[in-house]
Amino acid sequence: MQERLAFARAAYDAVALYDPKRTAVELDLTDNTNLWGIPPTAERTLREMPVAAVTRYPTLYAAELKAELALLHGVSADMIVTGCGSDDILDSAMRAFGEPGELVAGSEPSFAMIPIFAQMNALRWRGISERSTTAAQHTGHQPDIDALLATTPKILYLCSPNNPTGALIARASIERAIAHARGVVFIDEAYAEFAGVSSIDLVARSERVLIIRTMSKAYGLAGLRLGYAIGQPSLVMEVEKSRGPYKLNAMAERVALSALRYDSEWVAEHVALAVTLRERLAGALRAMGLAPMPSAANFVCVPVAQCVAVGQAMRTRGVAVRPFPALPHVGDALRISVGPWPLMERMLSALAPALREVNG
Ligand code: PMP
């Protein structure tokens, strides 16, 4: 192990550099981005970007983009904060609300970066296993709201639809979490477009709710890093202060504006397609004798024994999916991004022999 630098911050001793050691592969279905690509007007804006957009600084806080997002979601512009990906929003918001040593709590399994962002901000992380599926059969995989509330976290993180299970959190659970929380409630809606439901309306009722969204998934702009959050103006202002100026680069801002103004039809069409093909993929997996979990997102999580070895065997066949070993109440599973059907067929043709090779 490397010696600690005498002048390094102690809170970072336990922080490892995030590096999932991804290697290039012919078909990458690991990150739930938009496998159909970028919307057409957004692409034109990107190609025609004036050089001046790069030589000058971007706007301080992306006011024009906030106004457009406000229009989309039926809120006022001062209820929106943008960031360099929703990763940046989550990080800035943790820094805004958590004093060093305070607690961030969330359900497990969920978005793997949350404990890391907590650590990066010198906060404590507490993961609580979701309720067992047998107890929650009627609603699928659900967080244990009572157990989460009992930890009295400064920040309660909920993800709906959840990554990696794809489960939508029951509306009543979200409302209960908000009603009884003593701190801030983050609701990560990175995949909400594919679910067709959102908790954005709840921000009007509570000053402690922050809804986190991204343009990396349905909008196909992951490489430009565009995230945003919605909350009451006083809450959002704290995140904006913590985020700081010039965080959204000029190209991202312009391309996102185009996508929001002119590409809503393309986005809606491709969301609908992803939903249709998600169900078709689930059917194909069931036909192989597997039991995919119900998903409200643009990916499918399917229990598969020895998932790491199966994932590796698929990689040798040019296809990457994300293995999740030992998920609570599930065991080993693979998470597969949904995309155009020929890509799904290509994935299935790698999965079948990989399963035979590893699990017999
Ligand atoms: N939240 C969830 C649940 C995610 O799955 C991801 C990306 N995998 C993010 C946030 C971060 O996305 P981005 O920074 O690209 O907006």
The finding on whether 161 has its CB within 6 A of some atom of ligand 1 is no
pLDDT surpasses 70 at 137: no
CA–CA dist 131, 230 (Å, integer): 28
**From the CA atom positions of the chain, what is the Rg in Å?**
20
- Residues forming a β-bridge with 327: 331
Q: Where are the domains of the chain?
A: 21-37+265-359, 40-262
Contact 72, 192 (CB under 8 A): no
Higher pLDDT, 231 or 360: 231
Q: In this predicted model, what pLDDT tens digit does every residue of 178-228 receive, in sequence order?
A: 999 999 999 999 999 999 999 999 999 999 999 999 999 999 999 999 999
Give the H or E element holding residue 110.
Answer: none
pTM for the model stands at 0.97
CA of 142 to the centre of ligand 1 (A): 20
CA–CA dist 203, 235 (Å, integer): 10
The finding on whether 222 has its CB within 6 A of some atom of ligand 1 is yes
Closest CA to 301 of 17, 29, 6: 29
Name residue, tokens 């070993």. Answer: 325
pLDDT confidence of residue 13: 86
Closest CA to 113 of 87, 93, 95: 87
Architecture of the domain spanning 21-37+265-359: Alpha-Beta Complex (3.90)
CA of 171 to the centre of ligand 1 (A): 21
The finding on whether 339 has its CB within 6 A of some atom of ligand 1 is no
The finding on whether 296 has its CB within 6 A of some atom of ligand 1 is no
pLDDT confidence of residue 84: 97
Q: In this predicted model, what pLDDT tens digit does every residue of 245-295 receive, in sequence order?
A: 999 999 999 999 999 999 999 999 999 999 999 999 999 999 999 999 999
pLDDT confidence of residue 2: 62
pLDDT confidence of residue 134: 60
Count the neighbouring beta carbons within 10 Å of the beta carbon of residue 41.
Answer: 18
Find out whether the peptide bond into 161 is cis, omega within 30 degrees of 0. yes
Return contacts of 143-150, CB within 8 angstroms, 24+ apart: 143/106, 143/107, 143/169, 143/173, 144/107, 145/173, 145/176, 145/177, 148/105, 148/106, 148/107, 148/177, 149/177, 149/180, 149/181
Q: What values do phi and psi take at 4, rounded to 5?
A: -80, 135
pLDDT surpasses 60 at 136: no
pLDDT confidence of residue 139: 59
pLDDT confidence of residue 218: 98
Alpha carbon distances (Å) from 207 to 75, 181, 279: 14, 11, 37
The finding on whether 87 has its CB within 6 A of some atom of ligand 1 is yes
- Residues forming a β-bridge with 127: 106
User: Which top CATH class is 40-262?
Assistant: alpha beta
DSSP assignments along 182-235, one per residue: SSEEEEE-TTHHHHT--SGGGGGT-TTEEEEEESSSTT--GGG--EEEE--HHH
pLDDT confidence of residue 150: 98
CA of 87 to the centre of ligand 1 (A): 6
Alpha carbon distances (Å) from 255 to 165, 219, 227, 258, 259: 31, 11, 13, 5, 6
pLDDT surpasses 60 at 138: no
* Mean of pLDDT over the chain: 95
pLDDT surpasses 90 at 66: yes
